[in-house]
Structure 1
Amino acid sequence: MTGEEPKRGQMKLDLTHEGAGRHRPFVTSDCNAAAVARLATWPDALTPVLALIGPKGSGKSRLAADWAERVGAVPVHGAEASLLDPLEVEGRPILLDRAPDADDETLFHLINLARSGGGALLLVARSAPSSWEAALPDLRSRLDAVPTVAIQTPDDAVLAEMLEAEFARRSIAPPADLIPWLLKRIERSSGAVEAAVARLDAEPGAVTRAVARRVFGPLGPGDPD
């Protein structure tokens, strides 16, 4: 409020959201179609609080950021949520990434704020809220009641798009057969994609499958590649 000092332990946050448009389009496939469809029509009056869950590197934070851009949500991360001023976010959609890192009291108040009408709260985490630790009994019951939608480990279609985008970001034009070759050799996460392309980019000369084979090695003794 104008002319008032923030409460102790509370600070002003920049509640503007950086546009997601600078990123590549989010690729929809079997591994994430249910989550994409759910967020396309959410929030709704019946579900003011929703959890988006999935393994590390599955793209859940990216999908949540696209949702926040679309609906004008306030994006916060983990323990940073305790710095929110309820008066500034009341009635607004909120994206809380790394939601289990927020303290119990903050989570309790954010859920209540969303359920009081007009707002919405998207909780992003690797596991469902029902599995999070909560010392407050009232918070425990609220977390157990939060509906969830899940993203699975990236499949070939999503992983291939991640590889193409990372190569393009580094201005690398890989041969057509390299990405299918890499799909068999790297972990299925955005972090693994970035690490793999960085390793290839560090090699002298053009990025070829021969270079990739030297860097990553064969799958096993019988690998014909």
Structure 2
Amino acid sequence: MATRQLALDLPHADSRSRDDFLPGLANEAALALVESWPNWPARAVALVGPAGSGKSHLAAIFAERSGARVLPAAALDSASVPALLADGALVIEDLGNGPIPEAGLFHLLNLAGEQKAGVLITSTRLPSALSETVATRDLASRLRALPVVTLGPPDEELLASVALKLFADRQILPDENLLHYLLPRVERSIAGLRDVVGELDREALARKRPLTRALAAELLRGRAEPPDEPASSPDEVTLNDVTIG
């Protein structure tokens, strides 16, 4: 019987600097938005995409560029809004992942307009869909009017670049055979690719074997082949990207 060892799931470096952001067709509009600050089309903009698409990395780049604080949407309240906007910019992360803080968000959007501050909101759901879940009519109207930049599914070139980075973060230098085998067989999303790379790394450590194409084939055997295009939820529709000045 092959010897296994305990594979500790240690944290791996995940730099969110601009230099470590991998651009591609899927995220070029979002990156252009962040890099065009403060010349934005509106004071508040929503960055929408599936989990693992790069929203938080882009939010971190924006925060570094603008001096913005980064706050989870669940922590937003009306009383803190003036202080949060004191630096002229703010990031609200994961709006819609839980109950929407309606009073705080309404106050934030109003004050940002008055003070000409910038607000970047990240979400997996379109603001128009979120507007249907709030009770405050004026807030619903503001959400429907919020400019949106979407992150699309990664293309082959971006997936390959991300795979190389994910392996490098784990001190693994994959050969071409491993990448050529792996990429057509994983979910076509950055989040899915991250999960598979982590799984392969843990299993290779547990089995005390180098991570090769043969081991990847053994570990992934029996998985269902992913569809050519990821299924879209009702909220994930194609939008025309806003024009970046």
Q: Given the two structures, how large is their TM-score scaled by the length of structure 2?
A: 0.75
User: What is the one-letter code of the residue matched to 1:175?
Assistant: D
Alignment-derived partner of residue 211 in structure 1: 215
Query: Cα deviation per residue 1:87-117 (whole Å; 9 max; x = unaligned)?
Result: 3223420100111243111110111121112
Alignment-derived partner of residue 176 in structure 1: 176
Change (3 A) 1:69 1:158: same
Change (3 A) 1:209 1:24: farther
Aligned residues: 202
**3-state SS in 2 of match to 1:123:** strand
Quick one: distance in 2 between partners of 1:25 and 1:89?
Answer: 27
Q: What is the deviation of 1:75? A: 0.2
Change (3 A) 1:200 1:53: same
Q: Could you tell which deviates more after superposition, 153-162 or 136-145?
A: 153-162
| CA-based RMSD | 2.3
Structure ranking higher on relative contact order (CA contacts 8 Å, 6+ apart): 2
Change (3 A) 1:123 1:84: farther
Quick one: distance in 2 between partners of 1:174 and 1:28?
Answer: 21
Quick one: distance in 2 between partners of 1:39 and 1:90?
Answer: 18
Alignment-derived partner of residue 20 in structure 1: 16
Quick one: distance in 1 between partners of 2:47 and 2:37?
Answer: 12
User: What is the one-letter code of the residue matched to 2:62?
Assistant: W
Report percent identity of matched pairs: 33
Quick one: distance in 2 between partners of 1:81 and 1:143?
Answer: 16
Q: 1:25-174 residue pairs with structure 2 within 5 A?
A: 25-44=20-39, 46-82=41-77, 85-91=80-86, 92-100=88-96, 101=98, 102-132=100-130, 133-174=133-174
Query: Cα deviation per residue 1:110-147 (whole Å; 9 max; x = unaligned)?
Result: 11121112311111111221110210011011111101
Runs of 4+ in 1 over 6 A off after TM superposition: 218-221
Unaligned 5+ segments in structure 2 are 1-14, 226-245
Query: Cα deviation per residue 1:18-67 (whole Å; 9 max; x = unaligned)?
Result: x833x862111111111111221133365101011012221122112211
Unaligned 5+ segments in structure 1 are 1-18
